[in-house]
A = this chain, B = another copy of it.
Amino acid sequence: MNGAETLVKTLLASGVRVCFANPGTSEMHFVAALDRHPDMRCILCLFEGGVSGAADGFYRMSGEVSATLLHLAPGFGNAFANLHNARKAQSGVVNIMGDHADYHLRFEAPLKGDTVGISRTVSHWTRVCAEPGRVAGDAAEAVQAARGKNGQIATLILPANMAWDAAEGYAVAPPPPRLQRPSAEEIAAAARALRQPGAVLLVDGPVLWSDLGLLAKRLTKAAGARLMQPFFVSRFRRGAGAVKIERMAYRIEDNLNLMAGAPALVLCGTTRPAGFFAYPNLPSTPDDPDTRLIDLCTREMDIEWTLQALAAEIGEAELGPEDFMPPDHPALPEGPLTLASVGEAIAALMPDDSIVVDEGISASSHLAPGLKRARGHDALTITGGSIGFGLPNAVGAAVACPDRKVVVLEGDGSGMYTLQSLWTMAREGLDVTVVIFANRGYQILRDELAAVGVTEVGRNVVRMFDVVEPTLDWVALAKGHGVAGVRVTDMAGFNAAFAEAMGQRGPRLIEVVC
Contacts and interface: CB of A to CB of B under 8 A. Distances in A.
Given A46-B413, A278-B161, A444 B384 contact: no
A333 interface: no
A179 interface: no
Interface in A103-147: 103-104, 107-111, 113-114, 117-118, 120-122
A480 B472 contact: yes
A101 interface: yes
B477 A109 contact: no
Interface residues of A, number: 104
B463 A44 contact: yes
A427 B464 CA distance: 11
Contacts of A63: none
Contact of A232 (B110, B161, B423, B474): B110
A7 to B, nearest CB: 14
Nearest to A458: B35
A284 interface: yes
Contacts of A388: 47, 78
A473 interface: yes
Contacts of A474: 480
Interface string A425-463: 011000000000000000011001101101001111101
Contact of A277 (B26, B469, B471, B480): B26
Contact of A284 (B81, B88, B104): B104
A42 B388 CA distance: 22
A260 to B, nearest CB: 19
Contacts of A31: 445, 449, 460-461, 464
Which residue, A272, A386, A420, has most C-beta atoms of chain B within 10 A?
A386
Interface stretch (A17-25, A208-216, A236-244, A399-407): A17-25
B470 A80 contact: no
Contacts of A338: none
Contacts of A426: 470
B276 A111 contact: yes
A109 B49 CA distance: 21
A482 B473 contact: yes
Nearest to A231: B110
Given A416-B46, A472-B482, A480-B473, A101 B278 contact: yes
A121 B110 contact: no
Contact of A480 (B100, B104, B480): B480
Nearest to A299: B108
A275 interface: yes
B164 A274 contact: no
Interface in A131-181: 160-161, 164
Interface string A267-285: 0000110111110100011
A251 interface: no
A36 interface: yes
Nearest to A41: B460
Given A31-B449, A77-B84, A452-B164, A114 B122 contact: yes
Given A42-B464, A461-B35, A277 B160 contact: yes
Nearest to A73: B84
Nearest to A36: B458
Contacts of A417: 46-47, 78, 420
A191 interface: no
A77 B47 CA distance: 13
Interface in A255-297: 271-272, 274-278, 280, 284-285
21 contacts: A25-B276, A25-B445, A28-B449, A31-B460, A31-B464, A35-B457, A44-B463, A44-B467, A74-B386, A75-B81, A75-B386, A78-B417, A101-B277, A104-B275, A107-B274, A110-B384, A111-B276, A121-B121, A419-B419, A470-B481, A476-B480
Given A103-B278, A108-B271, A423-B472, 6 more contacts: A25-B444, A42-B460, A74-B85, A109-B274, A110-B232, A114-B120
